[in-house]
Structures are given as C-alpha cells and as structure tokens.
Structure 1
C-alpha cells in the first residue's frame, strides 16, 4: 500500500459523530506499512473512545486494500510540528532590484491606458515646458513600436553617436530645442521601418535606453519617459528595473478612454510608482470666431474619476489645430506659440509637477 494513499484516506475520515472537528490523520502519532499490513498509533484522550476509533480506522483502511490493521493508543497528543506544514520560503521582492538612471535627478513616466489620446504630444510638450522653465531636461521615447518623438521635436535627421567609457559603450543623446532626445526612431533605417521585436530583444533595448545613454556632462533635472499605450510588458519592465519618481496618465474626456485610466492607475499602483496626476487632452474646443467653448467629446468625467482614485487632475489641454500643425513641423507648441491656451496649460502642468517632486 502507498503511504500517501493511507494518509489521504485518514485525512478524509472525520470524527464528527463524537463532536470533534479533527480527522484521524490529525490524531496520528506513528504509521508503518508492511505490504498490505498497517500499524498505526493514535492519540485518544480516554479509553471510552478506543473501540470507536479502532472500528473507524479499520473500516477506512480496509476499504482501500489493507488486510491487517493494528491500532495502538497513546494518551499524549501529537506534537505541533507533525500537524502543521513548514512556513513557505519568503518571496523575493521584484522591486528591490530597481536602479536609479545615471545622471538623472527626477524621472517622470507619461502613460495612457489606450492609444489615440495624444500621450506623446503631452510628453513632448511637458518636457518642453520644463525646459522653458529653466531646467535641464531629457526626453526618452520608450514607445518602441510607434516612436513619434523625433518627428515632434524636429529631430528626425539627428545623428546618434556612441563613445566608450569605463562603464561600457554609451549612446550620446542628440539635442533639439535645448532638450536631450533619445528614441528608437534614431536607430531605424527609415521612419517607415517597422520594429518587429519580441520580449527579450525589446527588454534589452529598453534597458540600454534607460542605463546606457549619455545625457550630457550636467545631470538632467528631469527625464520624461514617453511610454507605449496600454498596461503591458514595457510598463512592467520599467517598474521593475528603474526608479521612477512619478507617473502622469493621459486621457481624453470620452468614457472609453476613462475606463483605461482606471486600469493605468491600478497598474502603476501594482508596480509601486507614485501617480503625479491625470492630464485630460483634447478636453474642449474654443471657437476662434466667437470664443464659445464646445465639449466635443461630451461632458468630462475625468475629475470625478480622479477624486475616486485620489489622484490630481493636473490640467485640461484644449483642442487647438496649431498643436498638430507645429508638431508636424517639429516644433512643440510650448516653443512655437507661447501665448496659446495649450502652451499656457502645459506650463501650468509642469509647474504643478515641479512642486510635487519638490525640485524648486
């Protein structure tokens, strides 16, 4: 007879008839098996239970093939270690291995729960607004499959160089509008070339962009990381490998976009990255002729969701055709049209983030 089979049978044999919540296995002190013969020693608090227990044990074991069952009783209860399994080994914390990005004081991740909400526009103009306010700023385009940073910064023709250092080869980030910029788009043969990478290759490239880029002699005050949309592997890898000081979630007023804001908030909470707040993009349209405000995507619920999840609504960016026009020309609206409502709002958002990160 198999030892485990005998133990399992004894675990299933309860003693509810005498008002006890234990099984026979809980009372067992010793067990020996010789072929189909079984010797078992069990705890019994009184002789009056001996006949009942013996009959119960014999019936159970003979039902699974035992030929001879020998039962012995003890007045000493089983020790704790026989009935309690050992504690599981401690689990490693995947976030304990996170590293600071070299030569960077504060790191801001810009994310969105879904595509098409203008996340890259917000990331590029946030970096530009921080630069406009006098800080040393870098922009990392981590949207490996859809890099748009080089276009929006007018840096498509910039050359990426590398140099050897005692720590290994470093990629030198080119500069556009005073912002240090790095993107996979610089390393592709043309802007039409698709990035067809899977997990390990993607993670290796992301790790190089995080830790092997030379951002210049002076430390960056801020590095803005433009993440791909969604809550996938890149976001999780970033959260487990690099220390991020805060995340900004971009949305539009539409309900379908706000559903994904909730997922984004939960995801950043899971990877233990503080959420600086939510930016509502394409919030409203101001008619240039009449000055009337139109909520094209309907009445916003972003503020309501932000309150529910205890995060701040950092600002609302209007729909302004000039933002798209200047983005195509490679000039962020913050630099191209300082008096526009969008530029003012980006500056306002940047100032709030500076205060939150206590870098004044």
Structure 2
C-alpha cells in the first residue's frame, strides 16, 4: 500500500475549482498544465479516486456536452479526451495512487467496435485503488481475444464497457462468450441505458451506473457464476423474425437507396455542397445502425431517443431537422415488408413531429 499521507476529505467547492482549472487547460490544449493540476491535487492530499472521477471524469463529461452544443469541434473533442487520458496515466504513476493488490483479479475491456476507452480506464484505475489486480485491455477488444486472455489469467470477473448503443449486439456476443467459459460479467456505460435495462436484457450478471458503483458491487462479494450450459443469446425470441439480421446485412444498400431518393423527398438537398452530402450520408448510416439495434433489442424507445437527439444535434449546428421525417419515411418505404422496422420508423416520425414542431420553437 502507499505510505503517503492519507488523502484528506475535499469539499465540493474545491473540487469544482479543480474541475474549472483542468477544463480551462484542456480547452486550451495545454496537456502540461492539466497534468500539473491533477498531480498537484494529489500532492495536496486530495483522494486519487476523487481526482479521477470528480475532476477528470467531470471534465470529460463537459467535453461531451460542449461537443453536443457545437461549442467545440470533433477534433477539439478528440484532443481534449487525449489530454484527459494522459492525465489519468500520470495520476496512476503518482505515489498516492500506488496500491498493492489485496483482492482478486478483474479484466476491464471495451467491447469490439467501442473506441470510447476513457470510461473503462477510469473503472480500471478505481479498481486498482480499491486493491484489485486489474488487466486493462483498452478499446475495441474482439471477443476471441478477450476469451483467450481469460483462459490465461483466470480472472474472477470481466468488466465490459460500451458507450454507444449500436455496439450492444456485439456486447451481447461478448457477454455470452465470457459466461460460456464460466466468467461472470459486470457491464457499464451509456450504451446499456440510464437504468441498465439493456444489461438485464442481454444477460449480464451485474450492471453499474459508474465506476464507484462498480467497485462497490465487486467489494460486496463474488459475482454470481454463470450457467455455462445456458446461452443467454437465445433469450431474445423476437430475433426469430430475422428483421434485425436483414436490416444489419443490407444497411449499406439501404442507405444508398434512401440517399438516392431523398433529394426528391427533400428538395432543399439539391443545394447541398459535397460536404453537406457526405454528412447526410453519414447521418443516414447512423439511422440504419440505430434502427437495427432497436430491432435487436425490440425497443422502439431507443430509436426515438436517438432520432430526437440527432435532431437536437443538427439544430445546434444550424441544420434544420425537417430533413429527418422524409428520410425516415423513405427507410420505411424500403422496409415495407418488415413490420417491426416500419413501426419503429413511424414512432421516430411521431417523436420528431411532437418534439420538434414549430410550437416547441424548433423546425419541423
């Protein structure tokens, strides 16, 4: 264990000051200053876990909010995230954060296709501070590689992270694979829903809303062992209609068809420049991805949340959201033989009409 002075309790006002200081440095792209502030807080006796979650984690949350509000660019968001990641790495090497493992062994990884690694890294570092031996595998870990690692290390549990809901079918496969070799799974991240509803649907042993709750749950005792003769991936009977499979497999051609017809359905598109057309194609691809995921989960609410969020993002960037209903109607036309898909798209149109009507002060 560390022999440094025990961390002192820190008031929320001081933590808020630290958040503001780190944010200012991150916003300026000043990695040296951001790291110095973090390490200085540790030198002053602020608990490492609090610096990780209440300072660096809070700054990262603001990064996402600023991007969504169109106050920073994608490039600035990436740069800010990179600075936060390096601040975490510097913190992990500070004497105040060094611990001797006294518990079991946990593997922490992002599901395949998930590039947002910082939430998983925060979990890994908190678990280390709590006395666990942690194997942190980082972003985008293919399930076969994860299972090979588990065979080698005999981990007590796996903590899987996913921030984007479209990765949930892949997360389901990873959860199932881990359980098939007898390793229980704790999941977290925004992808699993605000109340963890998708974690339960996909059969994970435990869901945690944040790093502290994940560490607290693991400290309570071993996670329940999975039944290796039961495959939870078979517990989604709605997949028998093959709608998810067909939409997922044909998404590229589906997007091309909708893109080709959108100019007639939304004449304003005729004036788009090449960049606007490229971004429109990207938006259509995201719609297809979230539609497929909603079909996988049998949850129309996920799609309506995504489509209204997309409308808000477009509005923040000065792009009228009125192009979305015609696009959804075109998707429905292409998928007219798939009743669940059509119904989900109709719910999206209804949500846009309600949430982004002129009466609500936004474009329809």
TM-score, normalising length from structure 1?
A: 0.24
Bigger Rg, structure 1 or 2: 1
Larger RCO (CA under 8 A, 6+ residues apart) = 1
Higher strand share: 1
- Higher share in helix: 2
